[in-house]
Amino acid sequence: MTNEPSELSESSAPDVPTDIRLIGDDELPAWSQALNVGFLRPSAVSEVQLEGRRVADAGSRVYGAFEGERVVATYRSFDQELTVPGGARVPVNAISNVTVTPTHRRRGLLTRTIREDLRAAKERGDVAATLIAAEYPIYGRYGFGPATSMAEWSIDVPRTGLDPRWAAPGCGGRVELLEPEEVRKAGPELHERFRRGRPGAVSRTQPWWDIVTGALRTYDGERPVPTFVAYRSPEGEIDGLAAYEVDDAWTGGGQAANTLTVKWLIGVTPQAERALWYFLCSIDWVTTVKSGWRSPGDLLPRLLPDPRAARITQLSDWLWVRILDVVRALEARTYDTTGEVVLEVDDPAGLAGGRFLLAASPEGASCVRSTRGADLALDVTDLASLWLGDESVARLVALGRVREVRAGAVREADALLRTSGRPWCPDMF
């Protein structure tokens, strides 16, 4: 996750030389301390945490801003795959661990680092860059736009209307608890199946599974290992997995009032999702279930006999995208209708601007640079929001972010770019 709320404007800070570069292994302790300070955590770093980070971040591009030997800003990027509409997976540059020490805000440290990293990503051939933004106003300056959204529900279990005697799915499948080592084996294959059909989903590494199952301690054992539950289809295949935690809360009258919090839940079939949610809502002594980060278009509320038992407690932007190659980005995804649109893309950073003709149909798409007159004019940030199909061209026009040059182009572009299902990224990174 990125947490850099400090560079919205420049200030008259002291002119102290700051060296921004990739760190060496001997500089990891100082870098990790600066990261903790930036995320408002205690600065102390243990050997267990350092060793966990060495494994988890292997292959990452870890930048530090140095003032002498002291690290005053952190930044990390790493290789990732992003699923686009139609199921294709494109290489992207994922950005995380962005912080600036409070005493060194507004000195352009993020600007210098992210510009260098984005240029390198484009040269490597990455189609886009991705991040989860802690604060909204920052990353639009660098060409990022919100491409997926997130919703979280709180479920009032007694109100759901579910049969309190529910014990197993009625479809012939079954629900079972798994040990962490079983999740490490079954999880990666299930997630590969899941992300093939979910635009907005990103790849997970083996260290990701090691961290969430407690085999790799990047937080020095501070985080408890959750409970894991799987749904097996009637054929015996794992089609869904969830991780959850339950607190220990009782009312003054001795009545259970426990809250179950879902850490993550993925399913490759509606039957798997239904079975997992029903199981979580059927656990004795649990009166509230918090859904964790879900798509705003999630099936969850309508899976319940009384959908009003699920109340949205959070609705926000989630995955942000920065397009680095317009041609490959638009050709990689699929389109449900046939049409052509000429896009005039403005990119002040000079990485992905130009005029492009997109000709698309359900059989495929081509995107080429063009000298034809533009149909729509927009910034690269807004193209990012439209790319995965979640945003509406008409809405961006109403907001003054996209300009219709040719009459009728808005309606035609919306028909091309919108998707029947909303993209969703279930991960924080």
- Counted residue by residue, the chain has a size of 429
How far apart CA 218 and CA 334 sit, in angstroms, is 38
User: What pTM value is reported for the model?
Assistant: 0.94
- For the annotated catalytic residues, the residue numbers are 139, 429
The confidence score (pLDDT) of residue 3 equals 64
Nearest CA to 244 out of 162, 183, 316 is that of: 183
Beta strand pairing status for 128-132 and 319-323? antiparallel
Report the C-alpha gap between 293 and 132 in whole angstroms: 13
**Ranges in the chain, pLDDT < 70:** 3-17, 220-222
Do the beta carbons of residue 6 and residue 53 sit within 8 Å? no
Residue holding tokens 């990119």?
347
* DSSP-H helix ranges across 167-238: 180-196, 206-212
Residue 231 carries which side chain, given as an amino acid letter?
A: Y
- Report how far residue 251's alpha carbon sits from residue 258's, in angstroms, rounded to the nearest whole number: 9
Per-residue pLDDT, 10? 45
Q: How many C-beta neighbours within 10 Å does residue 8 have?
A: 12
Can you tell me whether residue 268 is helix, strand or coil? coil
Which amino acid would we find at residue 219? Y
Q: State which amino acid sits at residue 9.
A: S
Sign of CA dihedral 331, 337, 340, 343: negative
28-38 and 47-56 helices, crossing angle to 10°: 90
Say if strands 310-317 and 89-100 run parallel, antiparallel, or are unpaired: unpaired
**Contact (Cβ atoms closer than 8 angstroms) between residue 322 and residue 128:** yes
Do 159 and 309 form a contact (C-beta atoms < 8 A)? yes
Nearest residue to 53 via CA among 218, 254, 225: 218
CA 166-284-273 angle, 5° bins: 50
Which domains, from first to last, does the chain contain? 19-147 (3.40.630.30), 151-316 (3.40.630.30), 325-417 (3.30.1050.10)
